[in-house]
Amino acid sequence: MPIYEYECKDCGHQLEAIQKISDAPLTECPACGKPSLQKQISASGFRLKGGGWYETDFKKGGKKNLAGESSAKPSDKSTK
């Protein structure tokens, strides 16, 4: 889910909120209670949630660290 940054135009309070993309933007400031929050433009951050997102979900057999293995392995097949 995306992490959005907000700033209150009245009191200057800043906060981050984890929201669905389809959620309406927040409007009420938790610090002063006024409806003057504005979503900031920033590099989007997000949190991966649920199965299928981790390196361990795709490992086979006894492999422990796919990222640390060498990609250049000698071939088992000999050419004759």
Q: Is residue 56 part of a domain?
A: no
Summarize pLDDT for 50-64 with one digit per residue, the tens: 666 566 656 566 655
The residues, ordered by sequence, that sit 6+ positions from 19 with a Cβ below 8 Å of its Cβ are 1, 2, 4, 26
pLDDT computed for residue 43 by the predictor: 74
pLDDT computed for residue 21 by the predictor: 87
Q: Is the pTM of this model over 0.75?
A: no
Residue 14: count other Cβ atoms within 10 Å of its Cβ: 12
Number of domains in the chain: 1
Contact criterion met (CB below 8 Å) for 9 and 36: yes
- What values do phi and psi take at 3, rounded to 5? -110, 120
Domain residues for 8? 2-43
Q: What is the mean pLDDT of residues 30-57?
A: 78
Q: What is the mean pLDDT of residues 24-40?
A: 95
Q: What CATH number should be reported for the domain holding residue 21?
A: 2.20.28.10
Q: What percent of the chain has pLDDT over 70?
A: 54
